[in-house]
Chain A
Amino acid sequence: MTRRLKGLLHGALVPLVVLAVWEACSRAGFVSAIVLPAPTAVAAKWWQSLLPAQAYDAATQSRLAWLLSGELIQDAASSLYRVVVGFLVGGGLALPLGLAMGAKPRVYDLCNPLVQVLRPIPPIAYIPLAILWFGLGNPPAVFLIAIGAFFPVLMNTIAGVRNVDGIYLRAAKNLGVGEWTLFVRVILPAATPYILAGVRIGIGTAFIVVIVSEMIAVNDGLGFRILEAREFMWSDKIIAGMFTIGLLGLALDTGVSRLNNHLLRWHRGLEH
């Protein structure tokens, strides 16, 4: 218990020193509050945007809805929604294609040239086309995020299927399994560590792309909010928004990593 506390203090040391120096610089007036607001100002702004803007009115809304009506929460929810939908579209298309390309050399030979040409194009480069094809609002954002998530999942799925240890295939054939069972019960689980690594990278990419896409096509979300704050030179709001992006990303990655540990609880690599 005390050791855990010690570890916590240890980890908090550097951030606290940085915050203290930063605060001191701002208070001493070395930098203007517009260029770099004090951390206390950022925290105050963050807390303020977290809380509901209007007073509670029992007639028009439930207490929960009211509690969640803060601007920051609404923006985080919008961004998260886009990440999830975009990832599901991109990853959902990449997984079956990757499985087919990994398992069937014919499919691989057919699709690989196109994949290799498209893969290096960063999702950002699709922005003009995305707006042209999908207009404004969520669709272009989801499209860009889907592209960002697609390739990591695809490449890892192909590698996962191709790297299945031949001994498992032998053992399964010895038990008399047919092609479909072999695929579902042997190849797919054997490839899961690779696939999940791809999912993790894909979600990371989706998270980067969502912020960028919100700067062009929509009018809510964390990316939109920090760009909006820039117009008014509200640097405290910009930093509060960035900080929220960091927190949300951390939460998302922790969740995926938990899921990882559960799905791969059989895996030797996770031995404690």
Chain B
Amino acid sequence: MTQIVASKVQKVFRTAGLEVVALKDIDLAIGKGEFVCLLGPSGCGKSTLLNAIAGFSLPTGGTITVDGRPVAAPGPDRGMVFQEYALFPWMTVAQNIAFGLEVQKMPKAEIAARVDQLLGMLNLKDFRDRFPKDLSGGMRQRVAIARILALDSPIMLMDEPFGALDALTRRNLQDELLRIWSATGKTIIFVTHSIEESIYLADRIVVMTYRPGTIKRDQRVALARPRDPAAAEFNELKRELSRLVMAEQQRHAAEEMGMYPP
């Protein structure tokens, strides 16, 4: 059953007379419970697309619907992990995680239990009463993830959520996310720069092009989980996607050179 539909989505930014076509003719249908990764060079419009689905910055053309209704405003049904974390610096780690639940008027005891469980899951127990300024980048990222997991939204939009983590923590959280996903049947749109991460996680990998941001390839990943990054099929797919992303990056670099001759 399709849940999120983007059709002919276009986003044009106009600033100081300059026009940037961040997204052009994006057609995408995402089924309920699907795990989709967005892959593409920096600046290709991944965050822009996520922001449009979340309802923060509506497209300048085309439509996006979620569960059949056009997206008009942000809401807790589409929990977002921001690329900039966006933790509230005046709240402690525990308060940051609890805030969304307080807004939903969940009973206090239940909130406390949920927060405890998430702190444990994300290895943040020792930091529950610290303020974000005292945390490392990776810890902040984990708090941002915990905040959205607490919300328990049916759709999770994650903008490079594991970008600042070390390899081991990253793998642990990837596995944890996969576990939550398969247990709850959430729909996940996950932005990443890492080809390996996208193959490890996704049902589908959407490769985007740079300026204008369009969809270059919509790749199904049929490998059985848990996936083994050392397996032959894994690496074959990785090579192919690398070629695709590399070509896109080269085209973009060549264009830049052409635009600004030496």
Contacts and interface: CB of A to CB of B under 8 A. Distances in A.
A57 interface: no
Contact of B88 (A168, A176, A178, A267): A168
Given A265-B131, A267-B133, A174 B76 contact: yes
Nearest to A265: B131
A144 B88 CA distance: 38
B89 A176 contact: no
Contacts of A176: 75-76, 100, 103-104
Interface string B165-207: 0000000000000000000000000000000000000000000
Given A189-B90, A267-B89, A174 B99 contact: no
Quick one: which of B54, B73, B86, B151 has the most chain A CB within 10 A?
B86
A3 interface: no
Contact of A173 (B74, B131, B132, B133): B74
Interface string B70-114: 000111101110101011111100000001100110000000000
A172 B73 CA distance: 12
Given A176-B100, A181-B103, A271-B133, A170 B76 contact: no
B120 to A, nearest CB: 22
Interface residues of A, number: 22
B101 to A, nearest CB: 9
Contacts of B87: 171
Quick one: which of B75, B79, B133, B151 has the most chain A CB within 10 A?
B133
Contacts of B100: 175-176
Nearest to A263: B90
Contacts of B56: 170, 173-174
A265 B91 CA distance: 10
Interface SS of A by simple majority: helix
24 contacts: A167-B84, A167-B86, A168-B86, A170-B82, A171-B87, A171-B88, A173-B56, A173-B73, A174-B54, A174-B79, A174-B80, A175-B99, A175-B147, A176-B75, A176-B100, A178-B103, A186-B88, A189-B90, A190-B88, A190-B90, A266-B89, A266-B133, A267-B89, A268-B89
Interface of A: 167-168, 170-178, 181, 185-186, 189-190, 192, 265-268, 271
Interface of B: 54, 56, 73-76, 78-80, 82, 84, 86-91, 99-100, 103-104, 131-133, 147, 151
Given A176-B103, A177-B103, A268-B133, 4 more contacts: A174-B80, A175-B100, A176-B75, A266-B133
